[in-house]
Structure 1
Amino acid sequence: MFVLPPPPRYPVAGYPGAPGGGQLIETNNTITHPTGPEHQLVVGEGTYVLQDDLHLATPPPHPSEAPVHNPNPLATTVSPPTAGTKLSIVVVAPRQQSQSRLFRFDTARSQLPPSIQELPNESSSQASDSGSQSANGVANGSTAFPREGLHAPAFGSGNSALAVVNGKDSKDPLKRRKPKSNIVKSNSSFVSRVIPHEALTKRLQEHNPNGLFAFANVNRALQWLDLTSPTKEEHLTKILFTKAHALCHDVNQSTKGPSHVDMILGFSTGDIIWYEPMSQKYARINKNGAINNTPVSDIRWLPNSENLFLAAHMDGSLIVYDKEKEDAQFVAEDQEQVQPETEKQPRLMVKKSVNSKNQKFNPVSYWKTSNSKINSFAFSPDCRHLAVVSEDGSFRIIDFLKELLLHQFNSYYGGMMCVCWSPDGRYIVTGGQDDLVSIWSLEDSALVARCQGHNSWVTAVQFDPWRCDERNYRIGSVGEDCRLLLWDFSVGMLHRPRAASVRQRNSVTSATLKMQRTRTDGSATRLRSNSNLTSGSIVDEEEVVHPVEPRARTAMLPPVMTKKVDEHPLCWLGFEEDCIMASCSNGHILTYDRPKEGAGSDAAPSTASASASNA
């Protein structure tokens, strides 16, 4: 059967008003099913086969933002911020844990910190799936630890001013609140066009509750997709915005259901949209930059919160918003407590605390980490800590419940681009402009290993919880070199010294860290060998900023698999129970099926040990 090729992604004639301009062409999504060895990922446990390549149609520029042609090749005009295609995955129905998953919940004999262990009377079968999160420490499609085992208090639980919504108590706490405005009928200049599927109601009725919904940004468009539908290339809803580009988005796992999904989007204009796709309702927050007028680089719902979410702005600000509160012109509070950055010891600059009694309007809380752009952040599985990476190469660990900076590390060189937590909260992985994936130990507050294999910036990192247990971890990373890399990291490698150096106390860098601090401080009495942040301890002041670990003293971990999977830079990675997904800056979404046999075997731990011995 002869199949016509897809139409061109952009019209040849240009934009209206341009010389020779004509009508803009709106293209549709396309899907292909490439086959062959070049579309397979060969790992120790088996072969991951490319299921399909979904290509999202890139919308043409809006007529009001005609592209400016600058013939000067050396021009330094700052281009507006944009982001590659990223996905927010959600399963509207809870799912029981799969038996094929390597990561086990019977952690009574493991060394997991008590703050993230399960309750004694709680079994693993009671753990239900709370959906997926994109680009944070918890893998898509599952929750690493059941919420019943978390003992962290809610953010702002001690502030009575946060107990009411818009100044009044909720009449029906069980009823999900929805935004007020209909986005399809909206006359706002912010929204250009909304294109629902002609059979949207029917497709929602036919949707498998255990199937995957996905929200994907591409240029100035947001698409709502059903990834388990036979016609997954046909969007459920496409929203075209006038000038703003959606840079980040997230789905609330606490409020999701078969008839309700809360989603937030951060834009290049600084605006934030609260969107409920089932009812096509939306609300606009930080309108026209009322609170902060810089672009939103990353956005996440606060753990276990129905209303509060955290947005990272490109001026180095972290702001907690309430989806139901109105905006007000922001004026910093407690200015006399703000510490200048010129002082020796950095602090988290709190411009408005969550404990403030002035909570009638947004923001709920306002923090400033530095003047450098924040690239990404992630919440820890124990819902206490926040990992933040910035363009200036800094990596911070913040106790966001106490609004306190605990640790600050720095990259070897260049900015840090992405961050995620291990499912048990013991390790943090970062990727940066130094082309390295770095593994950090939270318990020892130190760098464990560097993973070398990328040829360009690392744009996304993620743990695969289905290939993890108490001692072995599977890490995935993608970068601007168009490559997907898989790494197996074993706790056993921490005891294996590199070169002639000697390690102590089960930490690959504790001895090195002690030596460095001894040289720096000149006194061994000021040293601490073990700082367990997950148990809530507060570090000494001199331990907030940690020196850069020399590359010669750090273990190097080789990848167990490396593959160029696309012709465009990759920007997102996600793990599902039955597949691996990745997306690129040009709108391609790649789905690789997991090996059919051996998924529950011990192949991963043995592979991890083999890779560790090569480090």
Structure 2
Amino acid sequence: MFAHPNPYPFNLRDVKHHTGTRQPFPASLKPYTPEPLASNVSTPKHRAPADIRALCDTNSVLPPPPRYPSHSGAYGAIGAGIAPMIETNNILSNPEGPEYQFLVGEGTYVLKEDLHLATPPPHPSEAPVVNPNPLATTPQPASAGTKLSLISLDVRAAPPFFYNKGANTSTTLSSSLGGDIQEHPNEGRYSTEAGLSSDGGDGRGASLSDGVAPPTSSLIMVSAPAFGDGNTALAPANTKDAAKKKVAKPKNNMTKSNSSFISRVIVNESLAKKLQERPTDGVFAFANINRAFQWLDLSSPTKADYLTKILFTKAHCLCHDVNPTTKNIAHIDVIMGFSTGEIIWWEPVSQRYTRLNKNGIINGTPVSEIRWIPGSESLFLAAHMDGSLVVYDKDKEDAQFSPEEELATTNGSSTNGESDSSTNGVNHNLKIQINKSVHSKNQKTNPVASWKLSNQRINAFAFSPDNRHLAVVSEDGSLRIIDYLKEELLDLYNSYYGGFICITWSPDGKYVLTGGQDDLISIWSVVDSAIVARCQGHQSWVTSVAFDPWRCDDRNYRFGSVGEDCRLCLWDFNVGMLHRPKAASVHHRGSVSSRFANPLQRQETTNTAASRIRSNSTLSGGAVDEDGSSIVHPVEPRARIAMLPPVSSKAVDTHPLCWLEFTEEAIITSCKNGHIRTWNRPTDAPVPTEGASQPS
């Protein structure tokens, strides 16, 4: 044995100050001299880089050791078995100061609180990635930033916006339209799957339904038919006892699960007491961060204490949604989509779950977006990263899936599977490839339906407020408007540059917003099948867009956006400030009104032409071309489209933002590092605004 060698590969006598002159070693300190090594051991001849030697001070004998080891094991453990401290609890803080305020026309928004979710370390069975190469071309595991699904179990009074003004808006609108307009023979009745939905205008029914977001039921004068209505194979087995039927619960106990998919479940020891004592109008939040999923009570003074925390072994939860149709104080249906392609249906009150698409038996690609079908108790739609949309039934078993030959048809403008459009440098598939139709008689197992839209990943989709249409955006830069009840492609638009990342509908269903890799938000008129404006204010990819229904009326709209530039932008627009493209550049169809059965849209296109941005007389009319070319809309040049600036632009985080939502009291944002920030709306009381951020 020999003495411990010098751990630093350079001689301390050679250390120089930044002046470059050699300094004598302090006489009071005896330098360390290692014992001679055996003759068969070579002495390393490495020297420290000049910048390291220059930073060393001769007043200290040895520089401090590195804080973290260079080669760590799982959970960051070093070879001796010592693991660094790992934060396992959420942290709630209340930052103050002018940098946590921003000024808009209506007043000053002030940061109320910052809830930082604990980021779980990798599972011990997962090999750590040492020195990852950012330029590597190998596929990286799918990941997503922190996103929230918000739900309130109480029905609050609806806020005063345009489509439910007055005490009896539904009656007033119906009388003004001359009675109900039926586009479907079964439309006048309420089916078991399609009652009046409380799905928000952005298609995220779980996010702010029935009490947090304004209900849109008054917008829907007549119920849309249920998805798959008319297919007896999807009808409930025993409708006579439907009223007495117990609410279906998942099969497995989450807390006692021995599944290798779930690593650990931590339930708050006071869960029952907390649920009993919470306010009835409080808001629950379900949030994902890496391989963890948390159930939070945002109305609790101790909101940092999660109600339940689930740690999965290796899979990351990428998306989730709550069913507003089945929610009550004793039952909440939550669905989660994972990076492995698997889906979990979880009921948090009873702590039970069911695992769907197990081991990717139906589709093995990650789930990028997942939503309950509006009005349905059991059906939900999942977007997979292979460009497929799959409808699942939470109560059905899974089976090996292959496209049904007799149903593997196309729907759209192309019948040969080839694209005849190459706008934006991308060849789009101008069809919906129906691998399984909702009208198929084979409905014993999942999937209920399966559609192939693109060869690239689907990033987001949103249901329209009338529960008839689906807007889908993809990595290939395409926006598709689909009549999902008929499984028919209606319109296909292309981005200015790059892929689309996020999408939402206006509360009245007239407009669609998209954000993407071109750093722009685009405003699309669904009725006119045209882009009406682009919004420029972000300096990086736009990751989330949402309307603020509390600041919308019949002609004015407020919406917000967040991006990877850490900025929150607020935007205002009205129909009078937008300049549409010239008639020659618009492939408009005269039959557009018949395609959209929303009564408000029907009313606008027939009775209020004067309030339109431009008259129908300036549009190129005509029916759909035989080759279906009017389905595809070319990219409009920037010079022909109105460019809107934001009314407010504020860097509200130090990390890239990934989610945004409006509530009656606040704006809530989240970032990729797990910070959930709540920004209170302006109040009547004066707020100190000295130093507050001005719109930029």
Q: TM-score range by the shorter chain?
A: 0.7 to 0.9
Q: By how many angstroms is 1:266 displaced?
A: 0.2
Q: By how many angstroms is 1:98 displaced?
A: 3.6
> Deviation string for 1:361-408 (max 9, x for gaps)?
000000000111000000000000000000000000000000001000
Which whole-Å CA distance do the structure 1 matches of 2:514 and 2:521 have between them? 6
Number of the residue aligned with 2:513: 429
Structure 1 residues 288 and 178, CA gap change in structure 2 (3 angstroms)? same
Alignment equivalent of 2:418, drawn from 342, 360, 384: 342
Number of the residue aligned with 1:298: 369
Alpha carbons 2:149, 2:206 under 8 Å: kept: no
Larger RCO (CA within 8 A; separation ≥ 6): 1
Out of 432-441 and 60-69, give the one that drifted further: 60-69
Matched, 1:415 2:514: no
Number of the residue aligned with 1:535: 597
> Deviation string for 1:190-221 (max 9, x for gaps)?
11000011111111111112100000000100
Q: By how many angstroms is 1:74 displaced?
A: 3.6
Q: By how many angstroms is 1:591 displaced?
A: 0.2
Number of the residue aligned with 1:575: 662
Structure 1 residues 397 and 240, CA gap change in structure 2 (3 angstroms)? same
Which whole-Å CA distance do the structure 1 matches of 2:400 and 2:663 have between them? 42
Alignment equivalent of 2:469, drawn from 385, 389, 392: 385
Alpha carbons 1:444, 1:530 under 8 Å: kept: no
Matched, 1:591 2:667: no
For 1:341, the aligned partner's letter is: G
Alpha carbons 1:575, 1:581 under 8 Å: kept: yes
Structure 1 residues 388 and 20, CA gap change in structure 2 (3 angstroms)? farther
Number of the residue aligned with 1:266: 337
Q: By how many angstroms is 1:21 displaced?
A: 4.8
Number of the residue aligned with 1:608: none
Alpha carbons 2:201, 2:506 under 8 Å: kept: no
Q: By how many angstroms is 1:512 displaced?
A: 4.7
For 2:417, the aligned partner's letter is: E
Alignment equivalent of 2:106, drawn from 29, 34, 45: 45
Number of the residue aligned with 1:548: 635
Matched, 1:15 2:102: no
Q: By how many angstroms is 1:150 displaced?
A: 3.9
Structure 1 residues 150 and 454, CA gap change in structure 2 (3 angstroms)? farther
Q: Secondary structure at 2:585's aligned position in 1?
A: helix
Matched, 1:250 2:326: no
Which whole-Å CA distance do the structure 1 matches of 2:251 and 2:569 have between them? 44
Which whole-Å CA distance do the structure 2 matches of 1:598 and 1:110 have between them? 40
Number of the residue aligned with 2:14: none
RMSD of aligned alpha carbons: 3.3
Q: By how many angstroms is 1:175 displaced?
A: 2.7
Q: By how many angstroms is 1:288 displaced?
A: 0.5
Alpha carbons 2:262, 2:312 under 8 Å: kept: yes
For 1:77, the aligned partner's letter is: T
Percent identical among aligned pairs is 59
Which whole-Å CA distance do the structure 1 matches of 2:330 and 2:132 have between them? 51
Number of the residue aligned with 1:76: 137
For 1:22, the aligned partner's letter is: I
Which whole-Å CA distance do the structure 2 matches of 1:335 and 1:428 have between them? 31
Q: How does 1:193-592 map to 2 (within 5 A)?
A: 193-333=264-404, 334=406, 337-338=409-410, 339-344=415-420, 346-494=430-578, 497=579, 508-509=580-581, 511-514=583-586, 528=589, 531-532=592-593, 533-535=595-597, 539-540=624-625, 541-592=628-679
For 1:247, the aligned partner's letter is: L
Which whole-Å CA distance do the structure 2 matches of 1:340 and 1:48 have between them? 54
Which whole-Å CA distance do the structure 1 matches of 2:283 and 2:143 have between them? 26
Q: By how many angstroms is 1:151 displaced?
A: 2.7
> Deviation string for 1:8-27 (max 9, x for gaps)?
99999652675455347352
Structure 1 residues 306 and 453, CA gap change in structure 2 (3 angstroms)? same
Alignment equivalent of 1:184, drawn from 252, 255, 260: 255
Q: Which runs of 5+ in 1 are unaligned?
A: 1-7, 120-126, 498-507, 518-526, 600-610
Alpha carbons 2:199, 2:465 under 8 Å: kept: no
Structure 1 residues 347 and 552, CA gap change in structure 2 (3 angstroms)? same
Structure 1 residues 234 and 550, CA gap change in structure 2 (3 angstroms)? same
Which whole-Å CA distance do the structure 2 matches of 1:349 and 1:143 have between them? 35
Q: Secondary structure at 1:440's aligned position in 2?
A: strand
> Deviation string for 1:535-577 (max 9, x for gaps)?
3899552211110111110000000000000010000000001
Q: Secondary structure at 2:103's aligned position in 1?
A: strand
Which whole-Å CA distance do the structure 2 matches of 1:115 and 1:491 have between them? 26
Number of the residue aligned with 2:126: 65
The normalised TM-score by structure 1 is 0.85
For 1:535, the aligned partner's letter is: A
Which whole-Å CA distance do the structure 2 matches of 1:260 and 1:139 have between them? 16
For 2:571, the aligned partner's letter is: W
Q: Secondary structure at 2:482's aligned position in 1?
A: strand
Which whole-Å CA distance do the structure 2 matches of 1:228 and 1:396 have between them? 38
Number of the residue aligned with 2:191: none
Which whole-Å CA distance do the structure 2 matches of 1:570 and 1:114 have between them? 43
Number of the residue aligned with 1:521: none
> Deviation string for 1:48-97 (max 9, x for gaps)?
11100000000010011122224655432322000000000000122221
> Deviation string for 1:319-350 (max 9, x for gaps)?
00000000000021126634443153711100
Which whole-Å CA distance do the structure 1 matches of 2:534 and 2:206 have between them? 21
Alpha carbons 2:407, 2:436 under 8 Å: kept: no
Aligned residue-pair number: 562
Alpha carbons 2:206, 2:323 under 8 Å: kept: no
Alpha carbons 2:196, 2:223 under 8 Å: kept: no
Out of 230-239 and 134-143, give the one that drifted further: 134-143
For 2:509, the aligned partner's letter is: G
Which whole-Å CA distance do the structure 1 matches of 2:196 and 2:213 have between them? 8
Alpha carbons 1:97, 1:128 under 8 Å: kept: no
Q: By how many angstroms is 1:37 displaced?
A: 1.6
